[in-house]
Amino acid sequence: MKNLSGKRRSSTQKSVARWSAGVLALGATLACGVVAHNDQTGNAVDTGCDFGDCAGKQAMSPMSGAAGTATTTAGSGTIGTGGTSAMGGTATGGSNSLGGITTGGVAPGGGTSAGGTVATAGSAGTVASGGTSGITLGGVNVPADHIIGFIHIGHSNMAGRATSPAGSKPYHFTQTAPHAWMYHPGSSPALAIEPKTAGDMLNVQQAGPGTALVKEAAALAPNYYFMSLGYAVPSAYCSQFVPGGLYYDKLIEGPKAIRGKITFGAIFIYLGITERHGTDADRNGFSSCINTLVTNIRKDVGVPDLPAIMNDYEVLATGELAVGSAEYNAIYPQIQMCPTVVSNFMLVPCDGVGMQDDHHFNLDGQLTWAKRALMMMQQKGWFKWN
C-alpha cells in the first residue's frame, strides 16, 4: 500500500466566505431525459465493465484535451491460489487485481487536459475472503476506509444546469483532481468531471454539484480519496425516488454495487422545489417522504446513521418560485420539518449562491453550495477524514 500524503488547506471557512452572485438567463429550453454515461468529449459510453466483469474490457473512454489524448485500458486480472490480495489481506486466490490495472495515465504533450490532470481509470481490487477490500484508483491500491463515497441525488439542479460564468468552466469541466473520483454501474471508476457525475444531458456541458463535492472534500482531506455516486432526474420529486417509485432502483444501484469496497460518507439531496410537479399529498408529506428515502438508502448501504444533507429552499428563485409565492408557501414549512423528522440530517442554506436562471445554480453557485455543505459537515463532526 503506497503512503498517501498531502497538505491540508489552512481554512475551509475562507473558501466558503466567497459567495458568488449574479443571475444569468439560460437561453435555451433544455430537453429532459436520462441518457447513458458520456465520455470527456460528450460521446455516449457503454463500457459494459463493472467490478466483477472488467477483464479485457475498456476501463474508461478516451479523455481528450488541448494537450493531447490519454487512453486507459483495462487488463485481465487472475486469481490464483494461496496468495495475498493486492490490498494486503489474505484471499482465497493469489495476487488479486480483479479487472486489471489501467494503462495510459498522463496525457501526452504535457500531461494536462485543458488545465486538468488526466489520470488513469481505476479497477476493482476485491478480496475473496479476509483482508481489506478496496479499489485501485490511478494505479494506487486504496483500501476501503480511505475511499469516501458521497451519494448525491435529486432533480435537474443535481443533474446540472450550470453553464456560466465562463471563467469557472475549467474547474467543473476539464480540471480533474487525483483524489476526486466518480463511479457509475457498468463502468470502472473514473476521475470526477462534469457533466458526468449525475448529469442527464448528452453532449451538453452543464454542471451539478458532484465534481465540486468530491474535489473540495479531497482538498480538505488529502490523505483520502472521495467518490461521487450520483443520480438525478429533471423535475423528479421525492415520492418518485423512494422504494417502489420510478427511480429508487437506479439511484441505489451504484452504491449497492460498490458496497464493501468504499466507506460511505454522506447522502446529499436536492429536492423540495419540484414537489409542485406532484400532488397535494406529495407536498404535504414531503418531510415524511424524505425520511423514507434516507432510511432506505442507509439500510441498503449498511450505515444506519449515515449523515444526510439537503438543500434548503432556493431562496434566490424568481417568478412563480420566489419567496412568498404559493409554491414557496406550500413546501417551505415541510422542508423546515425535515431535520426534526430525519435523524442525522441538516439543511444547507441557499442564500448567496450564484444563479443560472429562475431556480438553478450557476457554476459558482454549485461550488459555493458544495463548500458550504462540507463546512457544515465539519462543524457537526460528520467530516471525519482530516
123-140 pLDDT, tens digit per residue, is 333 332 333 578 999 999
Give yes or no: residues 104 and 168 share one domain: no
pLDDT at 372 over 90: yes
Same domain, 149 and 237: yes
Cβ pair 55, 101 in contact under 8 A: no
Of 33, 26, 24, the closest CA to residue 235 belongs to 33
Give the Cα separation of 143 and 67 in Å (integer): 32
Q: Looking at the structure, do residues 256 and 282 belong to the same domain, yes or no?
A: yes
In terms of domains, do 155 and 133 share one? no
Given a cut of 60, whether residue 313 has pLDDT beyond it is yes
Into how many domains does the chain fold?
Answer: 2
* pLDDT of 51 higher than 90: no
Within 112-245, strands assigned E span 112-113, 116-117, 123-125, 134-137, 140-143, 147-154, 180-182, 190-191, 225-232
Whether 188 is in a domain gets the answer yes
* Three-class DSSP category at 32: coil
Mean per-residue pLDDT for 264-283? 95
Using CA atoms, how far apart are residues 202 and 225, in angstroms rounded to an integer?
Answer: 27
More confident call, 220 vs 29: 220
- Residue 160 or residue 10, greater confidence: 160
Let me know whether 281 and 156 are in one domain: yes
Predicted pLDDT at 132: 53
- For position 201, what pLDDT does the model report? 78
In terms of domains, do 165 and 93 share one? no
Among 59-68, 229-238, 303-312, 362-371, which is the least confidently predicted range? 59-68
Q: Residue 295: which domain range?
A: 143-380
Least trusted range by pLDDT, from 90-104, 208-222, 281-295, 319-333:
90-104
User: Do the domain assignments include residue 68?
Assistant: yes
Residues 318, 216 share a domain: yes
Q: Domain check: are 167 and 299 in the same one? A: yes
CA distances from 303 to 150, 227, 267, 300, 373 (A): 13, 17, 11, 8, 20
> Average pLDDT of the chain?
76
Which has more confidence, 292 or 52? 292
Q: What is the arithmetic mean of pLDDT over 235-243?
A: 97
* DSSP-derived secondary structure for 69-92: EEEEB-------SS-B-TTSSB-S
Choose one of 138, 165, 197: the last residue of a domain. Answer: 138
CATH of the domain at 305: 3.40.50.1110
End-of-domain residue from the set 138, 161, 192: 138
Instruction: Inform me whether the pLDDT recorded for 97 exceeds 60.
Output: no
- Give the model's confidence band at 386: pLDDT under 50 very low, under 70 low, under 90 confident, else very high: confident
Percentages helix, strand, coil for the chain (3-state, rounded to 5) are 30, 20, 55
Q: Which pLDDT belongs to residue 244? A: 97
Which of 138, 157, 187 is the last residue in one of the domains? 138
Does 320 lie in the same domain as 270?
A: yes
Report whether pLDDT(20) > 60. Answer: no
194-218 pLDDT, tens digit each? 999 999 877 789 999 999 999 999 9
Do both 200 and 278 map to the same domain? yes
Instruction: Looking at the structure, tell me whether residues 147 and 133 fall in a common domain.
Output: no
State the pLDDT at residue 126.
Answer: 34
Identify whether 351 is part of a domain. yes
pTM metric for this prediction: 0.70
Least confident of 80-84, 104-108, 246-250, 323-327: 104-108
Count of alpha carbons within 13 Å of 217, Cβ hemisphere only?
A: 33
User: Does 83 share its domain with 148?
Assistant: no
pLDDT > 70 fraction of the chain, expressed in percent and rounded: 66
